[in-house]
Amino acid sequence: MKTLDDLLGEGVSGRRVLVRADLNVPFDKNQPGVITDDGRARAVLPTLIALRDAGARVIVVSHLGRPKGAPDPKFTLAPVATRLGELLGAPVAFAADTVGDDAAAKVGALEDGQVLLLENLRFNEGETAKDEAARAAFAAQLASFADYYVDDAFGAVHRKHASVYDVPAILPHYAGGLVLREVEVLKKVTESPEQPYVVVLGGSKVSDKLAVIKALLPKVDKLLVGGGMCFTFLKAQGHEVGKSLLEDEMVQTCADLLAEADGRIVLPVDVVAATEFSADADHVTVPASEIPADRLGLDIGPESVALFAGAIGPAKTVFWNGPMGVFELAPFAAGTRGVAEAITKIDGFSVVGGGDSAAAVRTLGLDESAFGHISTGGGASLEYLEGKTLPGIEALEK
Query: Mean pLDDT score of the chain, rounded to an integer?
Result: 95
Mean pLDDT over residues 240-254, rounded?
Answer: 96
Mean pLDDT over residues 148-166, rounded?
Answer: 97
Is residue 22 annotated as involved in ligand binding?
yes
Mean pLDDT over residues 51-71, rounded?
Answer: 97
Report the phi/psi class of residue 314: left, alpha or beta, with left for phi > 0 and alpha for psi in -120 to 50.
Answer: alpha
Look at residue 39 in the predicted model and tell me its pLDDT: 86
355 labelled catalytic = yes
379 labelled catalytic = yes
Determine which one of 205, 219, 316, 362 is catalytic: 205
- Is 90 exceeded by the pLDDT of residue 378? no
* pLDDT, tens only, 87-102: 999 999 999 999 999 9
| Element at 164 (helix H, strand E) | none
**Neighbour count for residue 194 (Cβ, 10 Å):** 12
- Is 90 exceeded by the pLDDT of residue 213? yes
* pLDDT, tens only, 269-294: 999 999 999 999 999 999 999 999 99
Is residue 328 annotated as involved in ligand binding?
yes
For residue 366, the SS3 value is: coil
Cα distance between residue 78 and residue 311, in whole Å = 45
**What does DSSP say about strands 270-274 and 296-300: parallel, antiparallel, or unpaired?**
antiparallel
Buried b vs exposed e over 354-369: b needs ≥16 C-beta within 10 Å?
Answer: bbbbbbbbebbebeee
Cα atoms in the Cβ-side hemisphere of radius 13 Å centred on 124: 25
Cα distance between residue 389 and residue 165, in whole Å = 12
Determine which one of 335, 355, 377, 392 is catalytic: 355
Which DSSP category does 27 fall into? B
More confident residue, 353 or 92: 92
Q: Using a pLDDT cut of 70, give the percent of the chain over it.
A: 100
Whether 310 contacts 192, CB under 8 Å: no
CATH code of the domain made up of 193-386 = 3.40.50.1260
Where exactly are the structural domains of the chain? Answer: 4-180, 193-386
Look at residue 206 in the predicted model and tell me its pLDDT: 92
- Is 80 exceeded by the pLDDT of residue 355? no
Q: Where are the beta strands (DSSP E) in the chain?
A: 16-20, 57-61, 93-94, 115-117, 148-151, 173-175, 197-201, 222-225, 265-266, 270-274, 283-287, 296-300, 317-321, 349-352, 373-374
- Is 80 exceeded by the pLDDT of residue 183? yes
* pLDDT, tens only, 127-139: 999 999 999 999 9
- Is 90 exceeded by the pLDDT of residue 79? yes
40 labelled catalytic = yes
* pLDDT, tens only, 299-317: 999 999 999 999 999 999 9
Identical fold between 4-180 and 193-386: yes
Rounded to whole angstroms, what are the CA distances from 188 to 55, 193, 372? 35, 6, 12
Is residue 62 annotated as involved in ligand binding?
no
Look at residue 23 in the predicted model and tell me its pLDDT: 96
Whether 380 contacts 390, CB under 8 Å: yes
362 labelled catalytic = no
Task: Indicate the pLDDT class of residue 216, thresholds 50, 70 and 90.
Answer: very high
The answer to whether the peptide bond before residue 196 is cis (omega within 30 degrees of 0) is yes
* 4-180 classified as CATH 3.90.1310.10: no
Phi, psi of 59 (to 5 degrees): -115, 115
Is residue 24 annotated as involved in ligand binding?
yes
Using only C-alpha atoms, the chain has a radius of gyration, in whole angstroms, of 22
Is residue 15 annotated as involved in ligand binding?
no
Is residue 378 annotated as involved in ligand binding?
no
Mean pLDDT over residues 5-21, rounded?
Answer: 97
